[in-house]
Amino acid sequence: MSDQYVLSIFRGDQNEGEEKTYQVPAIPGMVVLDAVHYVQAHDAPDLGVRWNCKAAHCGSCSAEINGMPKLMCKTRLDDYQGQVVHIQPMRTFPIVKDLVADVSWNYEVAKKIEAFAPVNAAPFRMQQWDVDRVQEFHHCIECFLCQDVCHVLREHDAQDQYFGPRFMVKMAEFEMHPVDGADRVPQLKNEGGIGMCNVTKCCTEVCPQHIHITDNAIIPLKERVADRYYDPIRKFFRRLNKNKKEESSSSTVPSKV
Amino acid sequence: MNIETMETHSFDILVLGSGGAGLRAAVEAASGGGMSVGIIGKSLLGKAHTVMAEGGAAASIGNVDGHDSWQTHFYDTMKSGHYINNFRTVEVFAKEAPARVLELEQWGAVFDRTPEGMIMQRAFGGHSFRRLAHIGDRTGMELLRTLQYRAISMNIEIFQEVTITRLLMDGSRIAGVFGYHRSDGHFVLFKTKALVLATGGWGKVFKVTSNSWESTGDGAAMAYRQGAELQDMEMVQFHPTGMVWPPGVAGLLVTEGVRGEGGILYNSEKDRFMLRYDPERQELSTRDVVARSIFREVQEGRGTPHGGAWLDISNKGADFIKKKLPGMYEQLLTLGDIDITKSPFEVAPTCHYTMGGVKAHAETCATNIPGLFAAGEVACGLHGANRLGGNSLADILVFGRRAGIAARDYAGSRTDDVAVSEKEIEAEAERILKPFSRPDGENPYAIHAELQETMSKHVGIVRDQKLLEDGLEQILKLQERAKNMGAKGGRTYNPGWHAVFDVENMLLLSELIIRGALERKESRGGHWRSDYPEELEEMGQWNFVHEISPNGDRIKKERVPVMPPALQEICSRPVAPGKEPSPNVDQRKGASS
């Protein structure tokens, strides 16, 4: 094991900045966040970085390490033996300073999602196999690495057209809850923009919680949208209903699938 | 600086701290409608230390063990707290915890299930029955996330990444708080009729700790400076099982759930030592006992290579472990290079929780400052000398809600305007910027590191008069040096500047911990003095209450509230309620261990 690591950390803000090099003595089992803390304590006290738990529970210390979106607290430095470790903030979001990205957009999106709406009062009777499916989505730590890597948001800046993988997972969590009674399918299709996702699975690859975002959340939700809006037989009935609705002006909101 | 142009917000109810207790308080305060509610967090929303809670929330729902009851939960909590808890706080808590857990299910939390399809409950140290409602090993995150999404669906104004440095008073009443936005350093003033303090604990004063960066005790320190009473400060919990190796992750928590699900502790001689220290409860003894036992084994030369004990759950099989303890499996694998489904791993005690804090009323969470309420880890009264695992998640739900209700009532009764002192605010603004005038002043990171060294060495798991006196001297010296702390760079997201205020708060609370520890000349719960190794009946009648005075800290001895006969009767039983031996063996239910 080498006795020190070389870190190249982005210093700057949205307008300007560059990587600066720091040397950090190696300690067995050290993670990238430890090294960043060392730099803070010894060389650059004003180095901006977010962190809370240092245990991969809170999802605060997201960054791009040698180009890969990762949690700094979960990335071992001995995986980068003999390399310079480049640390950049998440690039999909505006940079506040150094490694701190402005992730406020995510919190705006979160507010738009219709809350969990149970059809009866707790205690619920649900079997473990009823909830296994949604419990996977509850693993999300809101690190926003999936949002960072999603090319719809990253390359096409389509923040106004797509909620992003994190919020597809959140909507799946509510939508697939056995006791939920709300209908989020119209929102998924329209405002949520689920159609923007073309299933490249980059989000699944970077998820530190190993949530099968694409396979278990996005694709089943896409199916619900397709069933509702693009199934030819349903389309026919919907047209029929629409005509009836115009006659009777009664509500014809399709029932939840 | 012009106070007229300063960013100012006014609320009926303001909550300081956006962890579980704060969010639960805000949700309750807003649920009646008609009052403006704000909540301030030092981090991003949903990142608070609550996410670190793993094992579960203790509530006597009785889904697994039907004989469980609030009386048993009361019995267990008083016993574990070594009877210096406020009995009324514990009673309210034990009675209300089940409803609070069910409420979370109503709001979208998805707990693990029993075969009957009800909320699953697991065994935990010191609980007579299987009592902890859980979601694998990430119950705190589930609780926080559920409350977070509940809160954003309500009419609550949320402020993220705001540091508060001072509570503002209107005479003897609370009037607001003052601080700055961490993102760009600009000042912000909040006026409020009622303030709920939910700022958590101060586990960051120790070097080996499971606490996240935020646990610097800001709320307790700020309240103390304005005259709030702080109680039982000497009571600090060391969790028996923190990671030991590699050093990069030392102190990181290994959930008690590992033992709850059947993990066994061994020393270097493959001896299951808990059989000697607590033959009845073994690995599922209370945290103070298990932590001390590991410490003793290591001291007597039976420690693991890196100074801990072996914890082994591999006999449970890979499928079971990955299902019930997925976070632990992953944490040990990625950070410790150990597959816990195959081999034992090293653990040692790590600072985990501060039982002491702002003295709060059992029913309303009111403090001695009118308009100031305290809930969660910052408050004191529930846990006594040692907290039971799982009781903190239930604590924040029960008393977060109660603080929200009481704050609403108080705000509603206050019809006059809230007045804040311009002069006070100007002086505080000047104080906040002072570190920038000392770019070559003391480094707050260095002071913090020395503080942690001192606390770990002098006020750790074992204490004595000499250690404590020397520790106090060192902390007082650090306090002097800290007056000269400086900050480099500008006001935009500058952690070196933010650290100055964290360190000030930690230095103050460290002093109070040591002063309390010097006062308590006995061993009780988390407080172990090698020069007074016995638990003394006389000492058990007192809580030590700290109060600021012109001459520094003043400690008042206050009588532990005396239980009414009906509750005394519960506590004096030889076995926990519901655990009485039954003539029919088939009907006996109890904790699995």
> Residue by residue, what is the 3-state secondary structure of B221-271?
HHHHHCCCCEECCCCEEEEEEEECCCHHHCCCECCCHHHHCCCEEECCCCC
Furthest C-alpha separation in chain A: 80
pLDDT, average across residues B330-345 = 93
Note the pLDDT tens digit of each residue in B390-435. Answer: 999 999 999 999 999 999 999 999 988 899 999 999 999 999 999 9
Residue B512 host element (H or E) = helix B495-519
Report pLDDT for B1: 65
According to DSSP, the β-strands at B264-266 and B309-312 are antiparallel
Q: Which tens digits make up the pLDDT trace of B255-277?
A: 999 999 999 999 999 999 999 99
Q: Which residue of A has its CA nearest to B106?
A: A122
**How buried is residue B182: exposed, middle or buried, by Cβ count under 10 Å (0-12/13-18/19+)?**
buried
B509, B534, B559 - which closes a domain: B534
Q: Is residue B27 part of a domain?
A: no
Region of poorest pLDDT, from A1-10, A150-159, A170-179, B122-131: A1-10
Other beta carbons less than 10 A from residue B483's beta carbon: 11
Distance CA A41, CA B111 (A): 41
What CATH number does domain A4-101 carry, 3.10.20.30, 3.30.565.10, 3.30.2290.10, 3.40.50.10860? 3.10.20.30
- Report pLDDT for B593: 38
Distance CA B275, CA B233 (A): 31
- A184: tokens are 């989020």
Question: How does strand B157-159 pair with strand B7-16?
Answer: unpaired
Long-range Cβ contacts of B567-573 (<8 Å, 24+ apart): B567/B74, B567/B87, B567/B91, B570/B71, B570/B74, B570/B75, B571/B75, B571/B78, B571/B79, B571/B83, B573/B75
Nearest CA to CA, how far is B496 from chain A (Å)?
Answer: 5
Note whether B528 and B542 are within 8 A (CB).
no
SS3 content of chain A, % helix, strand, coil (to 5): 40, 15, 45
Tell me the C-alpha distance between A144 and A156, whole Å. Answer: 17
- Give this complex's ipTM: 0.93
Query: Is B236 in contact with B220 (CB distance < 8 Å)?
Result: no
Q: Is residue B493 part of a domain?
A: yes
CB contacts of B213 in chain A (<8 Å) are: 51-52, 54
**Strand ranges (E), chain A:** 4-12, 17-25, 62-65, 68-71, 84-88, 95-97, 100-101
Q: What does each C-alpha distance from A24 to A21, A30, A44, A83, A216 come to in angstroms? A: 10, 11, 12, 13, 41
Under a CB-based contact definition with an 8 Å cutoff, are residues A36 and A48 in contact? no
- State whether B212 and A110 contact (CB < 8 Å): no
Mutate to test the interface with A, among B52, B100, B141, B148 (most CBs of A within 10 A): B141
Report the DSSP beta bridge partners of residue B181. Answer: B162
Polymer length in residues for chain A: 257
A199 touches chain B (CB under 8 A): no
Locate all alpha helices (DSSP H) within A10-77, ordered by sequence: 32-42
CATH number, domain with residue B258: 3.90.700.10
Q: How far, in Å, CA of B180 to CA of B433, rounded?
A: 11
Q: What confidence tier does A245 reach under pLDDT thresholds 50, 70, 90?
A: low
Is it the case that residue B585 has pLDDT exceeding 70? no
A218 DSSP 8-state letter: I
Q: Which of B534, B560, B584 is the last residue of a domain?
A: B534
What local confidence, expressed as pLDDT, does residue B132 receive? 97
DSSP β-bridge partners for residue B214:
none
Contact call for A58 and B336, based on CB within 8 A: no
Q: Residue B371: is its pLDDT beyond 70?
A: yes
Query: Which chain A residue's Cα is nearest to B214?
Result: A52
Mean predicted lDDT score pLDDT of chain A: 93
| Nearest residue to B262 via CA among B251, B272, B249 | B272
* Inter-chain touch A31–B248, beta carbons under 8 Å: yes
Residue contact B248–A34, C-beta within 8 A: yes
The predicted structure's pLDDT at residue B446: 97
- Among the partner-chain residues A45, A124, A139, the one whose CB lies closest to the CB of B105 is A124
Domain with B318, as residue range(s), is 243-351
Tally A–B CB contacts below 8 A: 179
Check whether the bond before A94 is cis (ω within 30° of 0): no
CB contact under 8 A, B49 and A52: yes
Residue of chain A whose Cα is closest to the Cα of B495? A46
Under the banding of pLDDT at 50, 70 and 90, the label for residue A257 is very low
Confidence at residue A249, expressed as pLDDT on a 0 to 100 scale: 45
Residue A2 has a pLDDT of 63
Q: Does domain A104-243 have CATH number 1.10.1060.10?
A: yes
Beta bridge partners of B357: B231
How is the beta sheet containing B230-231 ordered, strand by strand? Answer: B379-380, B357-359, B230-231, B542-549, B552-559
Of B212, B335, B492, the CB nearest to A58: B212
B132-133 vs B121-122, strand pairing mode:
antiparallel
- Please check the confidence at residue B368 and state whether its pLDDT lies above 80: yes
Neighbours of A243 (CB within 10 A): 10
Cβ within 8 Å, pair B110-A41: no
What's the CATH number where B462 sits? 1.20.58.100
Give CA–CA dist A61/B326, Å, rounded. Answer: 21
Q: Quick check: helix, strand or coil at residue B413?
A: helix
* Residue A251 confidence class, pLDDT cut points 50, 70, 90: very low
**Chain B partners within 8 Å of A16 (Cβ):** none
Residues of chain B with C-beta less than 8 angstroms from the C-beta of A139: 138, 326
Res A109 pLDDT > 80: yes
CA A26 to chain centre: 32
* Nearest-neighbour CA in chain A from B314: distance (Å): 22
Q: Is residue B461 part of a domain?
A: yes
- Amino acid (one-letter) located at B456: S
CB contact under 8 A, A57 and B330: no
Q: What is the mean pLDDT of residues B226-251?
A: 94
pLDDT above 80 for B141: yes
Phi–psi pair at B196, nearest 5 degrees:
-100, 120
Task: Mark yes or no for CB contact A54/B212 under 8 Å.
Answer: yes
pLDDT of residue B249: 85
CB contact under 8 A, A138 and B145: yes
Q: Please, what is the Cα angle at B370 between B369 and B374, to 5 degrees?
A: 65
Position A234 scores a pLDDT of 79
What is the rounded average pLDDT of the residues A218-236?
91
Residues of chain A with C-beta less than 8 angstroms from the C-beta of B255: none
Predicted pLDDT of residue B591:
41
CA of A131: which chain B residue's CA is closest? B110
CA–CA gap between residue B112 and residue B138 (Å, rounded): 11
The full set of domain ranges for chain A reads 4-101, 104-243
pLDDT digits (tens, 9 = 90+) for B459-504: 999 999 999 999 999 999 999 999 999 999 999 999 999 999 999 9
User: For residue B180, how many other CB atoms are within 10 A of its CB?
Assistant: 23
pLDDT for B583 equals 67
* pLDDT score for B425: 97
Please name the residues between 13 and 42 in chain A that touch chain B, using a CB distance below 8 Å. 13, 27-31, 34, 40-42
pLDDT of residue B291: 95
Residue B267 phi, psi (nearest 5): -95, -175
Counted residue by residue, chain B has a size of 593
Question: How far apart, in whole angstroms, are the C-alpha atoms of residue A169 and residue A148?
Answer: 15
B113, B148, B214, B325: which to substitute to probe chain A, counting the most A Cβ within 10 Å? B113
The residues of B carrying an active-site annotation are 239, 259
Amino acid in the structure at residue A82: G
User: Could you tell me how far CA A246 lies from the centroid of its own chain?
Assistant: 41
Give per-residue pLDDT as tens, B534-582: 999 999 999 999 999 999 999 999 999 999 999 999 999 999 999 998 7
Q: From the candidates B103, B182, B249, B447, which should be mutated to test the interface with A, based on the most A CB atoms within 10 A?
A: B249
Contact at CB, A27 and B489, closer than 8 angstroms: no
The token duo for B24 is: 């639960």
Q: Who has greater pLDDT, A251 or A38? A: A38
> Is residue B293 predicted with pLDDT exceeding 60?
yes
Q: What is the mean pLDDT of residues A197-210?
A: 97
Boundary (domain end) residue, out of B534, B569, B585: B534
Higher per-residue confidence, B571 vs B589: B571
Q: CB distance from A226 to chain B under 8 Å?
A: no
Domains contained in chain B, number? 2
Q: First and final CA of chain B: distance in angstroms? A: 63
Nearest to B454 by CA among B436, B476, B433: B476
Please answer yes or no on whether B495 and A40 come within 8 Å at the CB atom: yes
Angle at B127 between CA B123 and CA B129, to 5 degrees: 60
**Per DSSP, what are the bridge partners of residue A19?**
A10
How far apart are alpha carbons B240 and B57 in whole angstroms?
19
Q: Tell me, what's the pLDDT at B247? A: 84
From first CA to last CA, the distance across chain A in angstroms is: 57
Which residues sit opposite A5 in a β-bridge?
Answer: A24
The burial of B272, by beta-carbon neighbours within 10 Å (0-12 exposed, 13-18 middle, 19 or more buried), is given as middle
- The answer on pLDDT for B584 being more than 90 is no
Contact A46 B495 (CB under 8 A): yes
A127 touches chain B (CB under 8 A): yes
Q: What is the pLDDT of residue A250?
A: 42
- B252 closest CB neighbour out of A55, A118, A142: A55
CA distance B448 to chain A (A): 10
Question: A55 vs chain B: nearest CA distance in angstroms?
Answer: 7
How far CA A111 is from CA of A143, A172, B14, B157, in Å, comes to: 17, 15, 20, 12
* Beta strand pairing call for B7-16 and B37-40: parallel
Could you tell me if B526 and B349 are in contact, meaning their C-beta atoms sit under 8 angstroms apart? Answer: no
For tokens 């909620």, what's the residue? A163
SS3 state at B358: strand
